[in-house]
Amino acid sequence: MAKHQVYLGVDVGSVSTNLVLVDPKRLPAESVVKKIYLRTNGAPIETLQAGLARLQSQGQWDILGVGATGSGRELAGTIIGADVVKNEITAHAIAALLHNAQVRTVVEIGGQDSKIIVLRDGVVVDFAMNTVCAAGTGSFLDQQASRLSIPIDQFGPLALQSKNPVRIAGRCTVFAESDMIHKQQLGHAIPDILAGLCLAMVRNYLSNVAKGKAIHPIVLFQGGVAANAGMRRALEEALELPVEVPPYFDVMGAVGVAKLAQEHLESSGQTTRFGGLEIAHSHFTSSSFECPDCSNRCEIVQISRDDSPLACWGSRCGKFSE
């Protein structure tokens, strides 16, 4: 059987690890042929290997190139032999433009952070990120759904049933949770509380991450939180604009970096550095030590594959990166 020629995009984040395979011969809207979404669970190497093993078991692939993004992009790029390693802003912007070339604003809310990307004529002209506070991100919404014994996939549909959303303080996760508990004790209906939380999270996003940014249509909503229909409605109400959710909203970073890997290799004429899906069965270890050579006392991390050193980083002088 002939192998399917594809490019691999990997997005390793604090909450999820996403892998996509993109067919370069298909139109952008139909190019994703495989998507894998896994919880990172504090183990990025093991989760990445699990994703590669799943790809290996689900088809015959000729992987032409690989891109890595996300907060764990350097680690992922080293382990898999990525051809390009790009930040999340670039990856999400490219994916958004692939979906709709007329996009002007990207709202991205993930598990632990959120960002806004402003584009004009297909070029990123402004952006902002929030990585300090988890208010309004997927992890906080997951936590509240769990506290209320509501499956997270029912959060959005329940919020849409609200007739009179309550006012929730959304600037801080602690205050938001306290306010929700207070509203429950007063007897407010769960749909009204959930809808109020969605509105509070959107207010927090707009007054913090998007503060001072010009938000114009077309607006795309990306990231795992885009699955929450209540958050989408709250965003549309606050912006007074339609908000579009792409089909692969939860893995757009991986889609974008796969496309960047394709563009890099096709333009340079180089062949991929990808180590192969067999990486899934290798044994990786990480260790650290303090470099004693100067007063910086840099903490150096070393990654080994099958007991052979693979890469080091952490030195300010770059000595261990050579």
pLDDT of residue 285: 87
Please give the Cα distance from 39 to 62 (Å, whole number): 26
pLDDT of residue 171: 66
Please give the Cα distance from 183 to 166 (Å, whole number): 8
The full DSSP string for 197-224 is HHHHHHHHHHHHTTTT----SSEEEESG
Other CB atoms within a 10 A radius of the CB of residue 24 amount to: 16
Q: What is the pLDDT along the chain (322 residues), one digit of tens a residue?
A: 678 999 999 999 888 999 999 999 888 778 999 999 999 988 999 999 999 999 999 999 999 999 999 989 999 999 999 999 999 999 999 999 999 999 999 999 987 788 999 999 999 999 998 855 655 677 788 888 888 888 888 999 999 999 999 988 766 667 777 888 888 888 899 999 999 989 988 988 898 889 889 999 999 999 989 999 999 999 999 999 999 999 999 999 999 999 999 999 999 999 999 999 999 999 998 888 898 888 889 998 888 888 888 888 888 887 776 5
Structure token digits, residue 29:
């809207």
- Mapped onto helix, strand or coil, the DSSP state of residue 242 is coil
pLDDT of residue 91: 96
pLDDT of residue 136: 62
- Structural domains of the chain, ranges and CATH numbers in brackets: 4-98+253-281 (3.30.420.40), 105-245 (3.30.420.40), 284-321 (no CATH)
Instruction: For residue 155, give the nearest of 140, 166, 134, 135 by alpha carbon.
Output: 140
Please give the Cα distance from 51 to 103 (Å, whole number): 30
pLDDT of residue 112: 77
